[in-house]
Structure 1
Amino acid sequence: MARIKWRRKAFQEARRSPETQAAINDLASRGATAAGKGYMWDAQQGRTRYRAIIFADTMRAKRDLLKNNTLVKTLNGMSVRVSGRG
């Protein structure tokens, strides 16, 4: 049986690549738009990977988020895995 040798450097490069950043930015932008007025997004390069966050920016959006769980429903509708891990 053949052994697989994983190249960690290749995974790091993939997680930081411009193509990955563009895909993450696109998903975050579409998610914030789909969630509705008052939802914003931001992205940044972390220590190991590029990441984005969608958040309720206005009081109306924050109330909507608490009452309707808007982001989870929106992202699940987009077939995006929702994780509580930071």
Structure 2
Amino acid sequence: MVQYEIKVIGRVQGVGFRYYTKKQADLLGLNGWVKNLPDGSVLVTVQGNETDVDTFTDYLRIGPARSQVTSLQKVKIQAGNLSREFSIRY
């Protein structure tokens, strides 16, 4: 089990990015959360097995149709106790 903090930069707010992120995480059985940041980026904390998290990260690079991801920063962090679901934080 690994845990990452991922910051997604680009046109990622107002385009359904958080809902897209939750859908992909749910399909892969990952735990964590996603939220918009004041600087216009999106922050994701995700936990699961390494292969699924890598696949998830690939989906984040693509994003939903109206988004445009210009960069993605992925940092491995110490695994903590996350809820058994993936949520959208407001």
Higher strand content, 1 or 2: 2
TM-score grouping bracket, smaller chain normalisation: 0.3 to 0.5
Report 1 or 2 for greater relative contact order, CA contacts < 8 Å, sequence distance ≥ 6: 2
Report the TM-score when normalising by structure 2: 0.43
